[in-house]
Structure 1
């Protein structure tokens, strides 16, 4: 796949002496939100819908490969935790909110999946991965410093 260009903002001064900034529309990964570079024609399908560009993202490419290999993935967020827990219940997998002290108060910060030595813990922003053989792993969220970084 052709790499994306990443056109920097261009600041010029117009005839009236005012600074004008010209920008190029950027594309972000639809998985993690990291910037990938300039938007172009490959970003919209024939029906005007945004395309899936996770395979272009260094962080999300492994998830795309896992899904192609038959794995089921769920992104864990405060909004999605009940759905992820319900899906795991349907699979007969034990899952429970994971609690930690935050600012002096106990709060749910993720989800514990499985029991015993095989359990995994996913925090907000992580991806829970169920492999075809039934075991679970966690694909960690990108580090905060990576968010918004350009490729």
Structure 2
């Protein structure tokens, strides 16, 4: 895939600013560069740009290998918990003390030593062999195995 241009904003002589629209990764939201023809298909649908993103590219590879992925957000916590329950796996909110108050900060998947904890912003991955792992949100650290 061709590298994207990343045209900087330019201040015009009259003081106005000329800019190019930027494409963000539809997985994590990081900016990828200038918007171009590859971003919209012939029907006008926005294309999946995750394969271009350094953070989300590994997820695209995992999905191609048969993994199921979910992006964990506060809004999607309940539906992801329900989806994981459908696999017969115990899942519930993960609570932490934040400034002296117990707060849900993610989702705990499984029990015992094999449990996986995903924080809001992380991606949850179910591998074809039934194992679970996470892919961290950008800038938050390492993924779980």
Q: TM-score with structure 1 length normalisation?
A: 0.91
1:89 to 85, 88, 97: 85
Once the two structures are superposed, what CA deviation does each residue of 1:41-84 show, in whole Å capped at 9, x if it has no partner? Answer: 00000101110000000000000000000000011111001011
Matched, 1:8 2:4: no
Note the 1:46-57 alignment, pairs <5 A: 46-57=42-53
Which structure is richer in relative contact order (CA contacts within 8 A, separation 6 or more)? 1
SS at match of 2:12: strand
Structure 1 portions without partners, runs of 5+: 145-151
SS in 1 for 2:129: coil
Match of 2:25 among 14, 29, 33: 29
- Give the unaligned 5+ runs of structure 2: 141-145
Runs of 4+ in 1 over 3 A off after TM superposition: none
Q: How many residues align?
A: 140
TM-score by length of 2: 0.94
